[in-house]
Amino acid sequence: MSGSRLPDYLDHMQQAASDACGFVEGLAKHDFLQDKRTQQAIVMSLIIIGEAATKVMDSYAEFAQAHLEVPWRSMRGMRNRIAHGYFDINLDVVWDTVQTALPELLKLLPAARQDAEDESPNDDGMAP
């Protein structure tokens, strides 16, 4: 019963992106820059997205190549910058990411997720 984890990784990305967008809903940039709790929540969401993107790139390289519209490398890169340079996080970049890149990602993920589901074998190992 070792099915593909690909749909799970895409679900994690979708949930984290949705969460991050929800965290700033109705929030002005100035307020975001003053709100450490929201900043940290979004940064954690970006780490989750980047981790999941890395898993897709490493374990499902063909899928990632087939879905180049999804910015896999950018998500991994942001995760790495956050994880390895925590005290140097540029909150303007984080704000711009949650305002523009994540809504765009949320538009792209459903089709990629459907393709992943179509490619994944059922629990019995048989393709659908």
Q: How far apart are CA 67 and CA 75, in angstroms?
A: 14
Q: Collect all residues with Cβ–Cβ distance below 8 Å to 103 and sequence separation of at least 6.
A: 21
Please identify which residue in the block is written with the tokens 């002005």.
28
Please identify which residue in the block is written with the tokens 């975001």.
32
CA 118 to chain CA centroid, nearest Å? 20
Q: Is 5 a catalytic residue?
A: no
Q: Is 79 a catalytic residue?
A: yes
Indicate which residue of 12, 67, 76, 79 is catalytic. Answer: 79
Phi, psi of 35, deg, nearest 5: -105, 90
Q: Is 107 exposed, middle or buried (0-12, 13-18, 19+ CB in 10 A)?
A: exposed
Do 99 and 24 touch, CB atoms closer than 8 A?
Answer: yes
Q: Which residues are catalytic?
A: 79, 84
